[in-house]
Amino acid sequence: MEFFSSLDSYDTIIDVRSPSEFAEDHVPGAINCPVLSDEERVRVGTIYKQVNAFEAKKIGAALVAKNIAEHLEAQFLDRPRNWKPLIYCWRGGNRSGAMAHILSQIGWHVQKLDGGYKKYRGEVNRALTAWPSRFTFQVVCGMTGSGKTRLLQMLESVGAQVLDLEKLAAHRGSVLGGLPSESQPSQKAFESHIWQLLRGFNPAQPVFVESESKKVGNLRVPEALMQKMRESSCLSVLLPHAQRVQLLMEDYAHFVCAPTSLASKLDCLTHLHGHEKIGRWKQMVSDGQMAVLVDELLVHHYDPSYLRSIERNFVQFHKAQTVEIGDISVESFRSAALSLHGTTCLSE
């Protein structure tokens, strides 16, 4: 834990890698001040390979100096004398060393992250292997449309510890679960998000998490976390069928507004239901019969799939605590969340 806690002792964490490296993943809370842009890295690397190291270093040094000067003027001139930044690059080498040297010469107490981002990733991998066993998870189960995500959101709002993997993955978990206005993060960034939440949780209090499969969209749930979830106590959320249809109509309103995108998604289910049924469902989309389609998808696809998988994958589901929610009003979910959070607090 020493490595992770030390990150919190700095005023600013500066990632000097290129924008594409930063976009793939970075230390949570870091700002990107690249000493070489993506294009400049390619340029310097090409000179290194095609000419020689000396010429590459000359060009690289000029670019690095120019970029650091721009960052200094744009972002750091207002920092006080006691400002304490942490700087890192890929391995803690030349790029972070150049920025650290200039800022330290000004008089700031600068620290360079030894081992750089590569060390950070190693520590995250080790943590995601070791940490899940420290926590007590309450796995929120329930058929599609039963309001698991809304319950998690409400649990978080009343002060419970919540690991919302679908939120972190920017995906609702099913074949239709992609978000229209948000792409999924990289696998590494997804793991960083999980790590950041776990490091802030209290192991003495339960963590609520949804009964996800091994993949959320294109992203894999870390193996040790998945194993711990599947061994953990379960909650079974029950919502009346008509309310489930209404909830899904609200949550997937983007398909109502853009029905052609839904029709193309249905093709992914052809191998399970055949061309005739998929054709009939597509006709429902064309005819605007969205509520009828949602009802059929629940009855013929999602509910049978859920029943086949839940007891097989979550070994304590057979003794799950039932959470009955009468409707999809905010008040109903808040009441359920307060009851669950109050119960878990009392049981500590």
Rounded Cα distance between 131 and 69, Å, is: 41
Indicate left, alpha or beta for 177 from its phi (over 0: left) and psi (-120 to 50: alpha). Answer: alpha
Contact between 3 and 88 (Cβ < 8 Å)? no
CA distances from 179 to 187, 217, 249 (A): 17, 10, 14
The residues, any chain, with a CB within 8 Å of residue 43's CB and separated by 6 or more, are 59
Active-site pick, 89, 234, 257, 345 = 89
Residue 345 designated active-site: no
Rounded Cα distance between 210 and 149, Å, is: 8
Contact between 55 and 81 (Cβ < 8 Å)? no
Residue bearing tokens 């010429």: 55
Rounded Cα distance between 100 and 68, Å, is: 10
CA distances from 199 to 36, 193, 223 (A): 32, 10, 17
Give the pair of three-digit tokens for residue 340: 């669950």
Q: Which residues are catalytic?
A: 89
